[in-house]
Structure 1
Amino acid sequence: MESIKQSLKPVRALYGGTPAAEFGPKALKAVRAAMVEAGLCRKEVNKRVGRVKRMFRWGVAEELLPPDVRHALDAVEGLKRGRTTARETEPVRPAPDADVEAALTHLPAPVAAMVRLQRLTGMRPGETVQLRPRNVICEGDVWEYRPRQHKTLHHGKTRTVMIGPRGQAVLAPYLERPAGKPCFSPREAVAEVRGRRRALRSTPDSCGNRPGTNRKGCPEKAPGEAYTTATYRQAVYRACDAAGVPRWSPNQLRHSLGTQVRRTHGLEASQVTLGHSRADVTQIYAERDAALARRAMLEVG
């Protein structure tokens, strides 16, 4: 939802008073130019323009707009590399091991476990934050995690994350909760941080504000039940800043694991371990790929 709001922000700013049926290709190009001027990279501009198009496509499907609106907007092509002033992003690199280890010492236990688990399995940040005990099959030498939501679900693809012995050791304590509850809770992380602060408190409990008495009864931003990819990323950024190391993102942990698996078990094993759709071609390949991923994670994860 937040991504849709961000995509529509320049549309509302420039054409908030224009009837939707009158929003055409030139208006969409003006919105796109505003995104470029705001400093967004080329890929992000194309993503946001695509969301705007899908919004108008939905309006046509609901018979709120005439069909020619959709067709007109579809004529606007995405920005091409080398043919736009929009900046290009650098390729995503693996997170340096030394920087990850430094940040881990400043992370609360639930977030540190998420980082370690991602580092050992190569799962996506979105797959990590939604992990629940009921989605993990704890059988055999290698466990299987089947996320309910994943990147290629709308293409009819399935996703199975293999969890090896080292990953199992990280995850096991967090499976001792109700099956439908998130394994990693921001509430637990906040409670841990407050406990640390209390332990470092120099003023006796009998003096000044007693622990917890200066908290708002109804805070505007209370910790939620589960992390989002954004709050997970922000927690990592804060830890990097506290450790004095360059910021790295949770998604870089996938690249770290993928690089390691590719080096030790080959490109195909790396693709299936990370859940790339190109490795899931037919059922025969899927069976063979599962065996490859299982062997890789038994040794690596």
Structure 2
Amino acid sequence: MKAKNKLPGTIQVKRGRYYWMVKLPGKEKRKMIKICPPGEDKALSAEKDISLAQNIAWQIYRQAKRKAGPKQSESLSVDEVIGLFLEWAKGYYINAAGEPTREAENCNIALRDLQMLYGAKDIDSITYHDILAARKLLIDRKYNRNYINQRVGIWKRMFAWALENRYCSASVKSEVWAIGSLKKNRCVAAESSPVHPAPHWAVKKVLPYLSENMKALVQFIELTGARPGEAIIVRPCDIKRLSAKCWVYWPFQHKNKHKNRHRFIVLGPRAIRIIKPFMLQYKKKSEEFLFPGKKGGYYSRTAISYAIRKAIDKINQSEDEDVPHWSPNQLRHSCGTRVRKKFGADAARIILGHSNPAGITDRYTRDAIIEEEIKQAKKVMRQIG
């Protein structure tokens, strides 16, 4: 049985599975290839629709074409350019250890929709209306406005990179960059909810259900205002002991290191008491991680979130009390809010590691700002209202 299509070669069914007889780019002879779904070794079952086999075959063909090297005279497909961009992103968005950061994965996720909609289309044929249609797809999925703007921003970045490397024309890049950001209250996209501090009573309720390492991590973030990504990589060699009641932690990698910004996290007596038992297990200059994961190395950020969510679900199933769900980053908001109330906005900025005195820090301390404004308004209205 043969099924003809627009692909080079022919798709065939053998022993109840799809195969593809084709001469791939860069190869000298035709060859029978298994049409395997991503991540699987077995060929796709013939019980599946042939259109799925065709889509997988197209992916195999484009991947082979990229490896063979594009001809400069040819116009590349959107899928080919995205593949080249993602390969570049893996080497560009890296941390101090040379590992790809989350931004490389963010690019991969954001560009999937363009691949799905326009993967087989020539990149030089992409228009303003194509990008608008892709953005409307995100709006229809009920994504919030900020998230949609971030995704479209990655699309723009990819087309700018494509122009720089002469994979698309300047007119195409101009078409894409003509798309403006969605504005608040000026579009139908949903707004994201403001992030509030994690309730301290809810944090205390969860702690007994966490492992010792995870419990220490949660307390460390809440007390110091460290980012979860900074807390999971604490090493004894990165901590400088200024006195018995004050230590300074210098993360060897952090969010803004590529911008040559410094980041330090000061530990007070309570935070020192949390990590001291772990410090005693290592030498002062040890490069081992203070809170190692179960499989060695350090915990991922998602591992902390998963442990917290699992603990809260367990509490809510076994007890009458309804504990609200909270995330590790809300602990950072808790610390920033607490600092701002007692010591002011500039102290909160320093503790949270923000270079901008306003803006970002205000987002993290929103509840404290509202309290300050209400307090000030009450003082005024007692006299004039």
What TM-score does the superposition give when structure 1 sets the normalisation length? 0.75
Task: Give 3-state SS (helix, strand or coil) of 2:209's partner.
Answer: coil
Identify if the C-alpha distance between structure 1 residues 34 and 164 changes in structure 2 by more than 3 Å, giving closer, same or farther.
Answer: same
Counterpart CA distance in 1 for 2:287 and 2:170 is 43
Identify if the C-alpha distance between structure 1 residues 11 and 269 changes in structure 2 by more than 3 Å, giving closer, same or farther.
Answer: same
Structure 1 counterpart of 2:307, from 221, 235, 246: 235
Q: Retained in 2: the 8 A contact 1:53–1:74? A: yes
Match of 1:139 in 2: 242
Following TM superposition, by how much is the alpha carbon of 1:33 offset from its aligned partner in structure 2, in angstroms? 1.4
Structure 1 counterpart of 2:298, from 214, 226, 231: 226
Structure 2 counterpart of 1:255, from 326, 333, 348: 333
Give 1 or 2: higher strand fraction. 2
Amino acid at match of 1:232: I
Match of 2:148 in 1: 45
Structure 1 counterpart of 2:278, from 155, 160, 174: 174
Match of 1:85 in 2: 188
Q: Retained in 2: the 8 A contact 1:152–1:277? A: no
- Gap runs ≥5 in structure 2: 1-103, 317-322, 359-385
Counterpart CA distance in 1 for 2:290 and 2:165 is 39
Structure 1 counterpart of 2:262, from 141, 158, 175: 158
Identify if the C-alpha distance between structure 1 residues 239 and 36 changes in structure 2 by more than 3 Å, giving closer, same or farther.
Answer: same
* CA-to-aligned-CA distance 1:158-204 (integer Å, 9 cap, x gap): 211111111112122333347333322221xxxxxxxxxxxxxxxxx
Identify if the C-alpha distance between structure 1 residues 133 and 22 changes in structure 2 by more than 3 Å, giving closer, same or farther.
Answer: farther
Amino acid at match of 1:120: L
Structure 2 counterpart of 1:4, from 87, 107, 122: 107
Divergent runs of 4+, >4 A:
none
Tell me if 1:72 matches 2:179.
no
Structure 2 counterpart of 1:24, from 127, 135, 138: 127
Following TM superposition, by how much is the alpha carbon of 1:224 offset from its aligned partner in structure 2, in angstroms? 5.8
Task: Give 3-state SS (helix, strand or coil) of 1:98's partner.
Answer: helix
Tell me if 1:149 matches 2:149.
no
Higher Cα radius of gyration: 2
Q: Retained in 2: the 8 A contact 1:95–1:255? A: yes
Counterpart CA distance in 1 for 2:258 and 2:128 is 28
Tell me if 1:130 matches 2:203.
no
Identify if the C-alpha distance between structure 1 residues 38 and 149 changes in structure 2 by more than 3 Å, giving closer, same or farther.
Answer: farther
Task: Give 3-state SS (helix, strand or coil) of 1:139's partner.
Answer: strand
Tell me if 1:274 matches 2:352.
yes
Following TM superposition, by how much is the alpha carbon of 1:68 offset from its aligned partner in structure 2, in angstroms? 3.6
| Higher mean displacement: 224-233 or 74-83 | 224-233
Identify if the C-alpha distance between structure 1 residues 25 and 152 changes in structure 2 by more than 3 Å, giving closer, same or farther.
Answer: farther
Tell me if 1:121 matches 2:224.
yes
Following TM superposition, by how much is the alpha carbon of 1:120 offset from its aligned partner in structure 2, in angstroms? 0.4
Task: Give 3-state SS (helix, strand or coil) of 1:278's partner.
Answer: coil
* CA-to-aligned-CA distance 1:61-110 (integer Å, 9 cap, x gap): 33333344333322211111112221112211110011111111111111
Identify if the C-alpha distance between structure 1 residues 61 and 98 changes in structure 2 by more than 3 Å, giving closer, same or farther.
Answer: same
Identify if the C-alpha distance between structure 1 residues 99 and 33 changes in structure 2 by more than 3 Å, giving closer, same or farther.
Answer: same
Counterpart CA distance in 2 for 1:12 and 1:44 is 18
Task: Give 3-state SS (helix, strand or coil) of 1:258's partner.
Answer: helix
Following TM superposition, by how much is the alpha carbon of 1:112 offset from its aligned partner in structure 2, in angstroms? 0.9
Tell me if 1:36 matches 2:139.
yes
Following TM superposition, by how much is the alpha carbon of 1:119 offset from its aligned partner in structure 2, in angstroms? 0.5
Query: Aligned pair count?
Result: 245
Aligned residue runs from structure 1 range 282-297, under 5 A:
none
- Gap runs ≥5 in structure 1: 188-222, 281-301
Amino acid at match of 1:87: A
Amino acid at match of 1:24: T
Match of 2:93 in 1: none
Q: Retained in 2: the 8 A contact 1:259–1:270? A: yes
Counterpart CA distance in 1 for 2:169 and 2:223 is 50
Structure 1 vs Structure 2: percent identity of aligned residues?
33
Identify if the C-alpha distance between structure 1 residues 135 and 30 changes in structure 2 by more than 3 Å, giving closer, same or farther.
Answer: farther
Structure 1 counterpart of 2:291, from 161, 166, 184: 184
* CA-to-aligned-CA distance 1:240-280 (integer Å, 9 cap, x gap): 21222221001111111111111111111111111122149
Counterpart CA distance in 1 for 2:160 and 2:241 is 43
Task: Give 3-state SS (helix, strand or coil) of 2:266's partner.
Answer: strand
Match of 1:194 in 2: none
